[in-house]
Chains A and B, each alone.
Chain A
Amino acid sequence: MRNRYATVGLGALLAFATALPAAAEPVDDELVIDGQTMTVRTAAPEGHPFDELLSGWLFREAETRELEADSFQNPGMLYVDRGADIWNTVDGTMGKSCASCHDDAADTMKGVGANYPKWDADAKRPINIELQIDKCRVENMGAEAYKFDAPDQKALTTYIKHQSLGTPVAVDLSQGDLQSWWDRGKEMYYTRTGQLNFACASCHEANSGQYIRADHLSQGQANGFPTYRLKQANMVSLHNRFRGCIRDTRAEFPKAFSDELMALEVYVTWRGTGLSVETPAVRQ
């Protein structure tokens, strides 16, 4: 499978890559946040194309790595703070906040984000943290669902997932019909698309560790999302990043939370099984 995506069509890309310094190996470094060591390298689960899974943190320059390691300097922590405020703020017709039911997120949300996406038996499709928040808002708070990538949605998602900092990613594919969504996500991952005719695997599997122009290609892991991106100087959600990647292949991108991107989230999250949740990670 890997070879199929390694060669054809990437000639031009590799020409760029070889023209650049060959220091393509991810660094051998340890990520410690507030005394807690993150798992940034781990053995891949059975059936995974890689032997070893690597956090995107290992592919970044020293200054970017240091920024994530310092929980004060990390600008993503501003959004964690904002998320904490939202958690405690009453919204909707039922006069409730997140905290009204879930108390202190430090206790009740600890480790929870590491196990998403989950199976939503009501909707009969996968549910991620953003959709879980919306479900709670609509059903239990009498509030409206957030618009995709609304600042409050990003901040609250970041806050909830941050409660799992250091917890290994573990998606339970035995829930409901999640396995078939995983299959569909895998199909998408390897399907070439767009005018550039790239699959996810073209960059993040066949050429992971290489440079695409000046970008050091990671394994495309989801464990740090929502992630603070230096380019946007803002939090970037996983579905925003999916859409950005797909757009970069010059393809039409699916809607956020569409069946396509939910399937991709299930599969891509599974590809990072065992890596620590790093939210809010810092990337270039």
Chain B
Amino acid sequence: MATPKPRVKLPKTASAGEIITIKTLISHQMESGQRKDKNGDPIPRQIINKFSCEFNGTPVFSCDIDPAISANPYFEFNAKVAESGTFKFTWVDDDGSVYEHEASIEVK
């Protein structure tokens, strides 16, 4: 499997105190651990188990994820922005890999 690639959508600018909507999507099989291969052996679980978003170092939103979340996990949530800065998005894989993405916003 190719390295999971995140997609993040948020506005480039906002007014101070505005509540913005953030959408995130990442490619990942989200192997549930419930499936079996052709020989009838269980396919081991491998999912993204944690997603988090922080803004200028402050936690905004996070999600503890179980195997019932669909492949290519999607999260939509909000953030209240008081100042210009950078959002940092982090996805943590069961295998220990961490996928990151950053996006900045200008408050006018």
Contacts and interface: CB of A to CB of B under 8 A. Distances in A.
Interface string A30-73: 00000000000000000000000000000000000000000011
Nearest to B30: A233
Contacts of B68: none
Interface string A13-45: 000000000000000000000000000000000
B104 interface: no
A73 B74 contact: yes
Contacts, number: 35
A233 B69 CA distance: 12
Nearest to B23: A72
Given A81-B5, A82-B2, A151-B2, A75 B23 contact: no
Contacts of B2: 82, 151
A147 B88 CA distance: 38
B27 A78 contact: yes
Given A72-B23, A72-B25, A151-B2, A77 B7 contact: yes
A233 B72 contact: yes
Specify the main secondary structure of chain A where it touches its partner: helix
A82 B25 contact: no
B70 to A, nearest CB: 6
A233 B70 CA distance: 8
Interface residues of B, number: 15
A145 B70 CA distance: 32
Q: In the complex, which range does the number of interface residues on chain A fall in?
A: 10 to 19
Given A78-B72, A233-B71, A234-B71, A72 B27 contact: no
B73 to A, nearest CB: 10
Interface in A63-102: 72-73, 75, 77-79, 81-82, 85
Contacts of A77: 7, 25
Nearest to A77: B7
B101 interface: no
B28 to A, nearest CB: 9
Nearest to A151: B2
Nearest to A76: B72
B108 to A, nearest CB: 24
A233 B1 CA distance: 14
B9 interface: yes
Interface string A218-252: 00000000000000011000000000000000000
Interface string A161-188: 0000000000000000000000000000
Nearest to B28: A78
Given A233-B70, A233-B71, A75 B25 contact: yes
Nearest to B8: A72
Contacts of B5: 78, 81-82, 85
Contacts of B70: 233
Interface of A: 72-73, 75, 77-79, 81-82, 85, 151, 233-234
